[in-house]
Amino acid sequence: MNPNHISKAKPIFWAILSLLVVACSMSLEDGNDHESNIDIPKTPSQSDFILSLSPQQEAALDAFNTLQTSTDEINHLYSTFANSAHSCSPAETSFSVTQSQLAVYMTEFVSRHCQNLQEDIRNKLAETAVLAQDTYTILHCNNHPSNEKYKNGLPLSGTWVLPNIVGQRDVVLIW
């Protein structure tokens, strides 16, 4: 590029920049006294879609995070996005359990799969993890269809998917 062209462009650039600064400062000083005929719709931000969680729900999700990273072998407990497709979809059966019922099963799960944690810590994490909701759906996959009625409790085998926990995630437990 010719150096003469650059030297001629500099004054024009600064003049345009100065005009823009003056125009912006005038509109800021002017305030919003004038109405615009253009209706610009508000674009929802990501935070508009995130539900507000209670401290108890936040603690539950944190407990799941800790358990996820504390299993003796990887991928015995992990989280995915809410309502994700899982490898065992469709589930062979599903159950609905209360928070207190899930606490019993979570305590059993962590006693089997989180041996590296002290017993009192893993039990506290299991108790805290279930506090996110009052009731849970458990999707069960055991790699073979079964018409069993589970009179002695839920099967502690196969894969359990806890879908859509507080609208934030699915939790997968592999027994």
- Give the number of other Cβ atoms within 10 Å of residue 99's Cβ: 15
d(CA 8, CA 2): 10
Extract the runs of DSSP E, i.e. beta strands, from the chain.
77-81, 93-98, 135-141, 159-165, 169-174
- Which two tokens mark 170? 């699915």
Q: Is 161 helix (H, G, I), strand (E, B) or coil?
A: strand
Residues in the chain where the model's pLDDT stays below 50: 27-30, 33-36, 38-49
Q: Residue 85 has what pLDDT?
A: 86
Instruction: Write the pLDDT tens digit of every residue in 57-107.
Output: 999 999 999 999 999 999 999 999 998 888 877 888 899 999 999 999 999
Question: Which residues on adjacent β-strands are paired with residue 93?
Answer: 140
Q: Residue 135 has what pLDDT?
A: 98
Main-chain phi, psi angles of 54, to 5 degrees: -75, 160
Q: Is 72 helix (H, G, I), strand (E, B) or coil?
A: coil
Mean pLDDT of the chain: 80
Q: Residue 153 has what pLDDT?
A: 79
- Tell me the whole-structure pTM to 2 decimals: 0.67
